[in-house]
Amino acid sequence: MVTLKEGDKAPAFKGKDQDGNKISLSDYKSKKLVLYFYPEADSPTCTIESCNLRDNYGQLKKKGFEVVGVSPDDERSQKKFETKYKLPFPLIADTTHDILEKYGVWDQKKLFGREYMGVLRTTFVIDEKGTIRKIFTRPKNKAHAEEILAAMKK
């Protein structure tokens, strides 16, 4: 369950992206960051959400946002996902669930009466000072970039 709130300090994290590059929250110091968590690379809904962010990446960058995706997939799966859909941003492979747990998005889920541990699709918008400005616990996958931009105008 996501226990972080808007106004909280974003938890520090370190991970490796699809190319094996080390990425940490401190890399985005003095930048605005869209940190989005998704359950599975190349699954239908995750693809829709990621491609929406890709298609609107120019607009997000123009408004000063960097984008980083995080899922429990390994580097190889993340690389295939990035290549297949030409995603222009890093995808962290959080196979140990360390980042997922820090952000409270690794939790009990239910599907067809079956309970299991999984990723709660969530996006955190973090400002230049490392403060969480907005949390989307139910992102509009087909219009996620648009909802981020609209919310951050306020």
Residues 6+ apart with CB under 8 A from 145: 52, 53, 55, 56, 57, 59, 60
State CA 132 to chain mean position distance. 13
Q: Which of 34, 46, 68, 105 is catalytic?
A: 46
Structure tokens at 88: 């222009």
Question: Is 46 noted as a catalytic residue in this protein?
Answer: yes
Just list the catalytic residues.
46
